[in-house]
């Protein structure tokens, strides 16, 4: 199995899991993003745009399936020079880049599929890391937040459908923040900076952070990821908990995340999206 | 005419305009928000929650129409103690507060209407301050931004319909930021902090800021306002221009704003909302 590895802990977690399950794992580490210690894995480093070279290498080592893990900042398409990709694929990439992140990722997947690889996602490799339906963490913190959970989920799904982003914060019926390109950490820290009348505090928690997969995105790539830093940022913003799409959001370290949430006084609610 | 005056320049601009048109103008200055120099106007100061007292005073001075102008931060409804409003009106306010800003403002309007006032908006008093259809400022900067204008407008209207906020920034097809409770200034300054590949710069402008009225809101109250500070912040964020709903957005000082936009290299596009 080939792993195209970006930033963060997910690529290594996933590579270890796949190897433990008996797969041969080959790592295409993206220059400037993959910052894991790949000791013990067969690894080559590639620039983000060297997709043709990645495909050649994966073919050479005999990988037939490819997965994408870890975050990658959007490159500047004014200066984006893919390696010897077919002109049609280059055009498709540049065109898709103008239509938003989802279109861009679909174009990337399609380049690997056209090179003969099956592109697989986390639910094939490590389904245990996907959020499960149910209430976790400090369960008692959930009471009274039902309306905020519903509203925050609705907003996260709507902005996801519009390819804006995947996260939203609602407190006492008011939408405090919506996430676009600034990312989750910046969004949560600006919630903490809002007037106290709007938000909760660490002593008197109020409000809910929702994270849902984009309803129309290709689930094999770019599912949102919640790590320990997110849980801590939710706590620091004075919120009561998280509502996450069951099966649509990755928990980097499920047991530790549930324990930390409980310790910090936060609930984590996994909700199945309606079909 | 009674003016319930919040923060910013709009209340004074509007009061001067109404008086120039021959109206008797009475100012209910909201404590902690109205910071204008009301010299020469008959003025009383009220706490935000003293709506019953405002109505009594407006009746006493003989005002029959009331308008609302200037911004007001959402009070903390956990500690909100309206004066001798009817219990039913207090309940309506508290209930509406949980449903978002639009519902809250409708409840406020309804309190004044039930007290016998006609509530009027800017389009009755000073229609010249509303954005007009057409292209202004540095018109040449508009070329090539059509797709971003469309997308930013669509997003601003969608988030408005969901009572999230009224502003959005799109650059090269990507939604850079969506405004919720943090306000326009904070949203524009975080655009400037995004990776350079995503956004424009002051030398190489790219991207569009859209501001639209909420499609379902009561147009007599809470239309978005663009002042000189917004124009400067758009320029500093490296954007190319603004796309604004014609008739749905207030320009505090239209001539000066168009001139400043031109000087800073920005276009301003006024677009009529489809019915």
The fold of the A2-125 domain, in CATH, is Rossmann fold (3.40.50)
What's the mean pLDDT in B65-80? 86
Answer whether B207's CB lies under 8 Å from B172's CB: yes
Task: Specify the pLDDT at position A100.
Answer: 77
What's the mean pLDDT in B49-58? 95
Least confident window among A63-67, A255-259, B75-79: B75-79
Q: What is the pLDDT of residues A181-193, one digit of tens each?
A: 999 999 999 999 9
* Structure-token pair, residue A166: 């995947």
| B208-211 β-sheet, strand order | B134-137, B267-271, B241-245, B208-211, B167-171, B174-178
CATH class of B130-271: alpha beta
* Structure-token pair, residue A108: 């990337």
Task: Specify the pLDDT at position B77.
Answer: 79
Answer yes or no: same fold for A2-125 and A130-271.
no
* Structure-token pair, residue B166: 């009224």
Between B122 and A151, the more confident residue is: A151
Answer whether B231's CB lies under 8 Å from B260's CB: yes
Q: Is the pLDDT of residue A87 over 90?
A: no
Task: Specify the pLDDT at position B225.
Answer: 92
Distance, CA of A54 to CA of A48 (rounded, Å): 9
Q: What is the pLDDT of residues A55-73, one digit of tens each?
A: 999 999 999 999 999 988 8
Q: How many CB atoms lie within 10 A of CB B14?
A: 23
Distance, CA of A15 to CA of B257 (rounded, Å): 56
> What whole-number percentage of chain B has pLDDT above 90?
74
- Cβ contacts (< 8 Å) between A77 and chain B: which residues? 172, 197
- Cβ contacts (< 8 Å) between A144 and chain B: which residues? none
Distance, CA of A184 to CA of A249 (rounded, Å): 14
- How many whole angstroms from its chain centre is CA A88? 29
> Between B76, B178, B197, which is nearest A76 by CB?
B197
Task: Specify the pLDDT at position A97.
Answer: 85
Task: Specify the pLDDT at position A175.
Answer: 95
> Between B100, B174, B198, which is nearest A174 by CB?
B100
User: Which positions in chain B have a beta carbon within 8 angstroms of at least one beta carbon in chain A?
Assistant: 73-78, 97-101, 147, 154-155, 158-159, 162-165, 169, 172-182, 186, 190, 193-198
In A, minimum Cα distance to B172 occurs at A98
- Rounded to a whole number of angstroms, the CA Rg of chain B reads 19
φ and ψ of A24, to 5 deg: -80, 130
Residues with Cβ within 8 Å of A43's Cβ and at least 6 positions away in sequence, in order, are A26, A27, A28, A29
CB contact under 8 A, A175 and B100: yes
Q: What is the pLDDT of residues B165-186, one digit of tens each?
A: 999 999 999 999 999 999 999 9
Q: Look at residue B197 and give its three-state secondary structure.
A: coil
Between A84 and B238, the more confident residue is: B238
Between B75 and A12, the more confident residue is: A12
In A, minimum Cα distance to B197 occurs at A76
Q: What is the pLDDT of residues B141-169, one digit of tens each?
A: 999 999 999 999 999 999 999 989 999 99
Which of B80, B160, B177 is the best substitution to test chain A (most A C-beta atoms within 10 A)? B177
Task: Specify the pLDDT at position A111.
Answer: 94
Q: Is the pLDDT of residue B133 over 70?
A: yes
**Which DSSP string do the residues of B52-100 spell out, in sequence order?**
HHHHHHHHHHT--EEEEESB-PPP-TTS---SS--HHHHHHHHHHHTT-
> Between A147, A178, A196, which is nearest B180 by CB?
A178
Q: What is the pLDDT of residues A162-176, one digit of tens each?
A: 989 999 999 999 999
> What whole-number percentage of chain A has pLDDT above 90?
74
**Which DSSP string do the residues of B129-160 spell out, in sequence order?**
GBPPSEEEESGGGGTT-HHHHHHHHHHHHHHH
CB contact under 8 A, A182 and B196: no
- Cβ contacts (< 8 Å) between B172 and chain A: which residues? 77, 97-98
Q: Is the pLDDT of residue A90 over 70?
A: yes
Answer whether A173's CB lies under 8 Å from B163's CB: no
What's the mean pLDDT in B197-209? 92
Task: Specify the pLDDT at position B36.
Answer: 92
Beta partners for B65?
B118
Share the mean pLDDT of chain B. Answer: 93
Task: Specify the pLDDT at position B275.
Answer: 63
Helices (H) and strands (E) in chain A, counts: 9, 13
* Structure-token pair, residue A165: 């982003």
**CA–CA min distance B244, chain A (Å):** 20
CATH no., domain B2-122:
3.40.50.20
- Cβ contacts (< 8 Å) between A73 and chain B: which residues? 195, 197
Q: How many CB atoms lie within 10 A of CB A236?
A: 14
In B, minimum Cα distance to A173 occurs at B98
Task: Specify the pLDDT at position B274.
Answer: 79
CB contact under 8 A, A180 and B177: yes
Q: Is the pLDDT of residue B190 over 70?
A: yes
Least confident window among A204-208, B7-11, B237-241: B7-11
Q: Is the pLDDT of residue B127 over 70?
A: yes
User: What is the pLDDT confidence band of residue A75, given thresholds at 50, 70 and 90?
Assistant: confident
Which of A173, A203, A210 is the best substitution to test chain B (most B C-beta atoms within 10 A)? A173
**Which residue do the tokens 């094939």 mark?**
A124
Share the mean pLDDT of chain A. Answer: 92
Distance, CA of B123 to CA of A127 (rounded, Å): 57
Least confident window among B53-57, B113-117, B191-195, B220-224: B220-224
CB contact under 8 A, B101 and A181: no
What's the mean pLDDT in B92-103? 84
Q: Look at residue A230 and give its three-state secondary structure.
A: helix
Between B102 and B6, the more confident residue is: B6
- Cβ contacts (< 8 Å) between B76 and chain A: which residues? 196-198
Which of A103, A178, A191, A197 is the best substitution to test chain B (most B C-beta atoms within 10 A)? A178
Closest to A28 measured CA to CA, from A58, A73, A65, A72: A58
In A, minimum Cα distance to B194 occurs at A182
The residues spanned by each domain of chain A are 2-125, 130-271
**Which DSSP string do the residues of B216-245 spell out, in sequence order?**
TS-TTS---EE-HHHHHHHHHTT--EEEEE
Q: Is the pLDDT of residue A275 over 70?
A: no
């Amino acid at each position: 199995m080939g792993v195209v590895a970006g930033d963060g802990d997910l690529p290594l977690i996933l590579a270890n899991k796949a190897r433990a399950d008996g797969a041969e794992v080959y790592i295409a580490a993206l220059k400037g993003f993959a910052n894991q210690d790949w000791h013990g894995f067969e690894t080559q480093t590639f620039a983000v745009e060297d997709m043709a070279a990645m495909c050649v290498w994966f073919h050479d080592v005999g990988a037939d399936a490819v997965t994408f893990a870890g975050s990658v900042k959007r490159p500047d398409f004014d200066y984006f020079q893919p390696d010897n990709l077919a002109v049609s694929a280059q055009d498709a990439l540049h065109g898709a880049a103008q239509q938003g992140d989802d279109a861009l990722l679909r174009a990337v997947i399609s380049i690997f599929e056209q090179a003969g690889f099956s592109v697989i996602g986390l639910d094939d490799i490590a389904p245990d890391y996907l959020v499960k339906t149910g209430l976790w963490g400090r369960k008692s913190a959930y009471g009274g937040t039902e309306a905020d959970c519903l509203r925050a989920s609705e907003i996260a799904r709507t902005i996801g459908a519009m390819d804006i982003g995947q996260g939203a914060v609602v407190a006492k019926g008011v939408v405090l923040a919506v996430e676009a390109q600034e990312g989750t950490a910046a969004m949560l820290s600006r919630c903490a900076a809002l007037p106290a009348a709007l938000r909760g505090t660490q002593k008197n928690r109020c409000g809910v952070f929702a994270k849902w997969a984009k309803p129309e995105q290709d689930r094999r790539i770019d599912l949102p990821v919640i790590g320990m830093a997110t849980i801590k940022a939710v706590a620091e913003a004075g919120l009561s908990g998280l509502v996450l799409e069951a099966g649509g959001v990755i928990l980097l370290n499920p047991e530790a995340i549930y324990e930390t949430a409980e310790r910090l006084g936060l609930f984590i609610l996994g909700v199945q999206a309606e079909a």
